[in-house]
Structures are given as structure tokens and as C-alpha cells.
Amino acid sequence: MASRQSYKWFFETTTPVEGHMHAIARTIVAARTKFQQMEIMETLSYGKCLVLDGRIQSSQADEFIYHEALVHPGLLAVDGRPARALVIGGGEGATLREILRYPSITRAVMVDIDEEVVALCREHLPEMHRGAFDDPRTELRHEDARAWLERTDERFDLIVVDLVEPLEEGPACLLFTREFYTLIRDRLSPRGVMTMQAGMTKVNELGFFTAVHRTLEQVFPVVAGYQAFISCFGTPWGFIVASKGTDPRQQSGETIDRLIAERITGPLGYWDGVAHAHSFSLPKFIREAIARQDRIITDKNPLIVA
């Protein structure tokens, strides 16, 4: 058995005072794009990983947990069969892949500003996108998502916000504000639902999750936070459904299992009625943190993640 010292180690800083280590078999690609530092590396535990600005975004072994949790609660909350979906961000194409598992989807737009990241993921991470970029229902756009939303008149049954948290002041900050979420609400169909990744849900790191949750409550009648443990992140991870109608917390496990059978092609690895009930049953300390939070994120007062 190889010793610990024989591996090259990647240390991911998850907070200013914590981190998570992965043994690296090889670095497949490393590039500095116009917007960020990106790497695709192969780890001993999780296979290929996409890393942006030093933070793991997804891994070959457990990305199904993250992407099923991100996509399906929203699409299963749409009243009737969803037809049009929008992904904001979504680099490696796995969010798009999960959306396209619904035969009712006739159009799926993905707007990711970083064309280089998408191109490298398309080349080196076929295990994740599985041909989603080549599906005839897909439209891929590389531009500022907020500017595109402001000028389009198209309406969507699902909008997924799959973006990294804003680590410094800049354009990304304006994709986590009340004004941006209002724009998203206005681009949803009357039955439309938004889902998003919303950062860590562990002790001492709830500020981002709760501030986004509180901000969305200013915009949507239904806001439901939930979580899943993502092993390669080394931490539980938060997601939020914001809906104009259906409250996913009111959907029974039996209803979720029936909708999955009716709407989705192929088996899921993580999400079902039991996982749905578990994920939306947030523990007491998180519920209390949401209730205490009074921060509203706005264009004039954006949130920067340390």
C-alpha cells in the first residue's frame, strides 16, 4: 500500500480556517480563463473533479447527488409537465443533463459566461454532461446572464441558478441580489419554479445560505431551503426552491415517487420520496438561523463570501 507521502495532495480551503484534502492521481487540464482559474483533476477517491478558483465544483463519483438535488425538486414542483428550462451557469453540463431527462422538456437554455470552462468540460468531462450539449433541445449561450434575462421576453417553467458564490466584488455579486431574483421571478411562467445552490449548511457557516433565503422571501411567495451531504465537498450543502405556487415541503414521499415515475427517463441515484422528505426536514439550528437572519442582499449592498 502506497504511503501518504507518495501522493500529490490538493488542499481545498472551504472556509478561512478549514480545509479538505484530496489525493491527486493527475491533473488533466489547468487553465486561466478570462474569468477564473479552472482545473480538471483526477482524485484517488472521487475520480475526475472540476475545480474553479481552488474550490471543487463537482466530482465524477458523487456529482449525481449534487445535480439531482439541484434540479429535481424544482421540476417535480412544477404544476403539470414542464416544457422550458433555463440554467444560469452550469459549466460541466450535468445540470443540463438532469433537466433533459424529462421528455416533456422541449427547450433548455444554458447561459454560462465562461466559454473556455464549458469547452474544456465538454472535452474532458463526458462522464458528467453525457452528451447534453449536443441534445437538439439545448441552446448554449456564453454571455452575462443578467443582461440576457433583462432583454429576453421568454418565460420558463424552471430556472436553475448553478453559480459559484461571489468571492469578491464584481459582476457575480449582482447574481445574488433581490433585484436579480425579481428578474428571475418575472421570467418564470405562472407555474414556474426556481432552484439554486446556496452554499454550506454547517455550523458557523450559515451566513450565505440564510441571507439568500431571507432575500428570496422578499420576492417569492414560497421559499423552501433544503440540504444534501456532498462527500467530495466534505460538508452538507444547501439548496433553495423558490416557487410561485407549489410548496415542495407539502409534497408527500408518495407523490414524489409517482412524479419521478411519470416524468423522468431512467433511474435516479439519489432523489426519491424518502430523500425529498429528509432533505427538506432542516435541523433546528438551521431553521433558527433562517428565522434570525435579517440581511437582504441588494445591488447596492451585495454579499461577498469570505
Q: Beta partners for 37?
A: 32
Closest CA to 215 of 263, 188, 186, 175: 175
Q: Are 110 and 141 spatial neighbours (Cβ–Cβ below 8 Å)?
A: yes
Closest CA to 237 of 277, 211, 200: 200
Strands (E), the chain: 8-15, 18-32, 37-43, 47-52, 55-59, 84-89, 107-111, 138-141, 156-162, 188-200, 222-230, 235-243
Closest CA to 96 of 77, 116, 122: 122
Instruction: Give 268: exposed, middle or buried? Use CB within 10 Å, 0-12, 13-18, 19+.
Output: middle
Q: Which residues participate in catalysis according to the annotation?
A: 162
Question: CA torsion 188→65→212→90, rounded to 10°?
Answer: -60
Quick one: cell of 187? 421570467
Coil, strand or helix: which one is 299? coil
Distance from C-alpha of 140 to C-alpha of 217, rounded to nearest angstrom:
30
Q: Which residue do the cell numbers 407523490 mark? A: 255
Q: Are 150 and 211 spatial neighbours (Cβ–Cβ below 8 Å)?
A: no
